[in-house]
Amino acid sequence: MPSLFPQDLCQGRSLLPAGGPSHILSTDHGPSDLTLLWAEWQGRRPEWELTDMVVWVTGASSGIGEELAYQLSKLGISLVLSARRVHELERVKRKCLENGNLKEKDILILPLDLTNRSSHEMATKAVLQEFGRIDILVNNGGVSQRALCVDTSLDVFKELIELNYLGTVSLTKCVLPHMIERKQGKIVTVNSMVGIIAAPLSTGYCASKHALRGFFNTLRSELATYPGITISNICPGPVQSNIVKNALTEEVTKPTGSTADQSYKMATSRCVRLMLVAMANDLKEVWISDQPFLLMIYLWQYMPTLAWWLTNKAAKRRIENFKSGVDWVHVSPLSKHFHTIKRRSPICSTGSFDFVPEGCRFLLF
């Protein structure tokens, strides 16, 4: 078993395979696993490592992708912004130019539909023609889901797999030969915590994210002969964005249209900052979330029986609230109570449920 030495962390090496004991709950210092927290404290800085690069971001018109564009624009890089909504990309570009260190020529707007896989090769050629190389591909495009499996049309599952999984795989396969030729590059995929655990009302979304995690973990092993090509799997928990508003329901043409409660979610800016740290340190997999969600992924990894029990308890409440049209976290005042006590009583990474602060237990139930 590899030792927990700082030099391993500073060099961006995983302490164990993805999800190993390095993924310990955060304390007062930040909402992520220990490897990422250490990298933020002692590792390579994004301001040093991510300059003078060409970065292609999909799903750049809103949410994490939009915020990523803003923070990257301050690092002196060339940006390729892709999504389906061109007018939103134009808005993001204008703000990047206002707030960042880039000029007009440094940002390319490249409309892209991940489900139109036949267009991906041409899009890749357009980026290479514009900038000559692709240093980092950030696979961020995707859509979520809010519906019971029994009520969901098979077309919804197909759309989720086409967009979240096959579209991402297709674009990656188009960019990968270029990186192999150069023997360097970073492939960063914004996955989700539900790519590791179970989340009721998101069967199709969970399936697509589990598939992504399996694909990129295996691809990483196939690229072992190319140490200059790194793959980072980013697994955020709830983050402030429009992902719920745009989520599919039981029909493809029927999005939820509701932003739901955002108060318990992590700030997008904090999530993206931690993503940049992971990218700068070539971390293989990181977990980014506030509590109690980080606790749950920890339990899923090391105490699956307890995790299943807690998940099933929470699922019953969540489904009841979903059927009554109420956001499941919003109804619990303990979610706000947790945020007031978590800095005074951080959850300890002891592997014992007895160490969870009393106010958190009921939130999980």
Domain boundary among 270, 290, 310: 290
Residue 77 shares a structural domain with residue 144: yes
Residues 345 and 356 placed together within one structural domain of the fold: yes
So which residues are the catalytic ones? 205
219/280 same-domain check = yes
Q: Is there a single domain that holds both residue 67 and residue 201?
A: yes
- Same domain? For 261 and 333 the reply is no
In a domain, 1, yes or no: no
- Domain stop point among 239, 258, 290: 290
- Top pLDDT among 167 and 20 is at 167
> Residue 248: its pLDDT value, please?
84
For residue 186, name the pLDDT band (cuts at 50, 70, 90).
Answer: very high
> What value, to the nearest 5°, has the Cα angle with vertex 70 and ends 80 and 146?
85
Report residue 263's pLDDT band, with 50, 70 and 90 as the boundaries: low
d(C-alpha 192, C-alpha 195), whole Å: 5
Residues 328 and 207 reside in one and the same domain: no
pLDDT category at 265 given cuts 50, 70, 90 is confident
The strand order across the sheet containing 229-236 reads 107-109, 78-82, 54-58, 136-139, 185-190, 229-236, 285-288
How many domains are there within the chain?
A: 2
Specify if 54 maps to a domain: yes
Nearest to 260 by CA among 246, 244, 240: 244
Helix axes 293-302, 304-323, angle to 10 degrees: 140
Q: 346 pLDDT exceeds 60?
A: no
Residue 363 lies in a domain: yes
284 and 348, same domain (yes or no):
no
Q: Are residues 213 and 185 both part of a single domain?
A: yes
- Poorest-confidence range of 43-47, 78-82, 197-201, 247-251? 247-251
pLDDT of residue 266: 83
Check whether residue 218 and residue 260 sit in a common domain: yes
Which residues constitute the domain of residue 361?
291-365
Residue 278 and residue 320 in one domain: no
Residue 47 CB coordination number (10 Å): 12
Range in 145-149, 151-155, 210-214, 290-294 the model is least confident about: 290-294
Answer yes or no: do 225 and 344 share one domain: no
Domain boundary among 256, 290, 324: 290
Task: Assess if residue 226 is contained within a domain.
Answer: yes
DSSP string, 301-347: HH-HHHHHHHHHHHHHHHHHHHHTT--TTTT-THHHHHHHHTTTSPP
Please report, rounded to a whole number, the percentage of residues in the chain having pLDDT higher than 90: 55
In this prediction, residues 202-220 reach a mean pLDDT of: 96
**pLDDT above 90 (res 30):** no
- Grade residue 245 by pLDDT with cuts at 50, 70 and 90: confident
Each residue's pLDDT tens digit, 97-142: 998 789 999 999 999 999 999 999 999 999 999 999 999 999 999 9
- Which token pair is 232? 């980072």
The CATH code of the domain that includes 181 is 3.40.50.720
Q: Average pLDDT of 243-260?
A: 72
Q: Which amino acid is at 190?
A: V
73 and 84 share one domain: yes
